[in-house]
Amino acid sequence: MKKLLLAVLVLAGSGIAVWEKPQPSAPVVADVQKPEVGFVAPHFTLTGLDNQTYKVEGKRDKPLLLNFWASWCGPCRMEAPDLQKIYEKYGGQIDMYGVNVTSSDSPEAAQAFVQSYKLTFPIPMDVSGSVANRYLVQAFPTTYLIDAQGIVRKKIIGMIDAKTLELELRQLQKEEK
C-alpha cells in the first residue's frame, strides 16, 4: 500500500510540474510594451561604451539576448565568461546587449569589468537607470530573450550557466523558424 501511495504522489507531483511549465510559444499581445513573456519588449535607445547607439524598438533582424548587469555584482562576474562564450558561438545568429545599469555602477567600473572579462559584445550604458526601471530589473543579473518580432520570450532573474543559456537560445531559434 505504501508503494502505491508513493507512486501516486510521484506521478501527481510530476503532473503538476508539467502543468506549471511555461509554454514555449506564449500568446502575443500586439503593441503592448511590457517586460513580460508574450508582450512587446519595452523600447529604448542607449549609447554604448563604444559610443555606438543601440536600440530595442520592435522587429529586428535577429533575436536579442538582453542582459542587465553591474560591475560589483558577484553573479555577474561569474556569468560574464559564459556570456562571452555564447556571443562568440552565436553572435552571427543573435544580437547580444550587456546593459550596464550605470545608475547603480560607474562608467569607470563598467569599463574595467569589460576589459577584465574581455567582453566583445555591445555594452549599452543605462546611465539614468530608466531602461532597467522599464524592464523592472530588481536583481543582477537579469536576462531577457527577445525574438525577432520584438516579443519577450523568456525572463531569467539571476545567473544562468552557459549550457542552460545555450538550450534557451536553441529553443528561441527553433520557435523563430
pTM, entire model: 0.83
Beta strands 64-69 and 142-146: pairing type? antiparallel
What residue type is 72 in one-letter code?
W
What domains does the chain contain, in order, with CATH numbers?
A: 38-176 (3.40.30.10)
Q: Name beta bridge partners: 66.
A: 97, 144
pLDDT at 12: 32
pLDDT at 27: 65
C-beta atoms surrounding 89 within 10 Å: 13
pLDDT at 176: 75
* Residue pLDDT tens, the chain, 177 long: 443 333 333 333 322 222 223 444 556 666 789 999 999 999 999 999 999 999 999 999 999 999 999 999 999 999 999 999 999 999 999 999 999 999 999 999 999 999 999 999 999 999 999 999 999 999 999 999 999 999 999 999 999 999 999 999 998 888 877
Cis peptide bond N-terminal to 24, omega within 30:
no
